[in-house]
Copies of this chain bind each other. A is one copy, B any other.
Amino acid sequence: MKRNKVTLNDIAREAGVSAMTVSRAIRGLPGVNKDIQKKITDLAVSMGYIPNRSLGDTTREQTSMTVGVVLPYLGNTIFSTILENIELVLSSYGYRTLLCCTFNNIIREFHDISALLERQVDGIIWAPLELNGSLSAAQIIQKQHCPLVFVDRTIPDCKTDAVLVDDFVGSLTLTRHLMDQGITKIAYVGPVQHSYVEEERRNGYLKAFEERGLSPRAEWMIKVKTETSHPEIEAISRILQCQDRPDGIFCFNDTLTIGSEMELLNRGIKIPDDMALVGFSGTSEMQIARIPITGVFQDGPQLGKTAAEFLLKRMINRKIRLQPEVRIIKTRLETRQSSLRNNAAL
């Protein structure tokens, strides 16, 4: 079972010196006889010596040079982009990334966080699943005084750094855009799960109604289980069955947006003439789609990089009690054919 790895002691025995001398020689510290120095380095190479960093260092230095990243899943480009950019920034500072996917499972999320703490991570970047359900895990982290940065999603009750998207403003802008075209019967398609992001986007959508003294019909609020294989098929089906049928759809994320377009086209519904379509998005899929789709662009790389930088700041200034900082990354409205009724040429 053992890997019978080569240790300092193995080399020491072989070289006929103490482990200490080997340690010095390998680290290139002064005070080692040139010949012995050479002999030891040669031996280290030929024996295939690899220093054990997870042990010695972590114990004594109280730092593992490892950070945990906890994301719901990677199927949505926004999360894989965030992860990639966190890795890019942190690795340039010598930190390694321990990845956990929670797969929208709140129990799993709790275990993941615990496992990270047990592994002595120096910090955690996390997109929490729920506003309430994720709270206990957050409290454990904070009790350990482990640096924590929320990314994409947050738990406002926790006083800690967060890097977020302006979900509210983005959704408001998107919904206003539809209303500016006279499209006011707008359905909302989002996940059943009650997360920070879901709340913000839904509120932005509702705000646009409120601004015009309107409010959406209850039947237009479509909540789907995003874990199922084709939630958008059910969503579109329910939208088309509404007593007062919508003439526009606001989708919570890329997957739902793209899926909805496919399903609408499959059913022979004309976009945007029969049904306008907009969606919250971080991907380029919106522009390459059959009918290019209007959406708000999220700067994924920026989200990931900023989160990593926030965490680095916290990990370096362990004692300094900085005020929690919340950075909102702006979205950009990208208007395309799917929502432009009287101006197909864009």
Contacts and interface: CB of A to CB of B under 8 A. Distances in A.
B98 A98 contact: yes
Given A55-B55, A83-B74, A99-B99, A3 B62 contact: yes
Contacts of A50: 114, 117-118, 140, 144
Interface string A1-29: 11111000000000000000000000000
A119 B97 CA distance: 12
Copies of the polypeptide in the assembly: 2
A51 interface: yes
Nearest to A83: B74
Interface string A81-114: 1011001100100001111110100000000101
Nearest to A87: B101
Interface string A121-142: 0000000000000000000100
**Category for how many chain A residues contact B:** 35 or more
A224 interface: no
A265 to B, nearest CB: 10
A286 to B, nearest CB: 10
A5 B96 contact: no
Contact of A74 (B84, B119, B292): B84
Nearest to A119: B54
A60 B152 CA distance: 39
Nearest to A283: B285
Nearest to A80: B80
A239 to B, nearest CB: 19
B91 A84 contact: no
B81 A75 contact: yes
Interface string A245-275: 0000000000000100110000000000000
Given A55-B55, A81-B75, A289-B289, A88 B103 contact: yes
21 contacts: A1-B318, A3-B144, A3-B146, A4-B145, A5-B62, A48-B143, A53-B119, A54-B58, A54-B64, A66-B119, A74-B83, A74-B84, A75-B81, A88-B101, A91-B100, A96-B98, A96-B100, A96-B115, A98-B98, A262-B288, A288-B290
In the A-B complex, list the 4 residue pairs whose CB atoms are closest, starting with the nearest. A80-B80, A53-B118, A74-B84, A74-B80
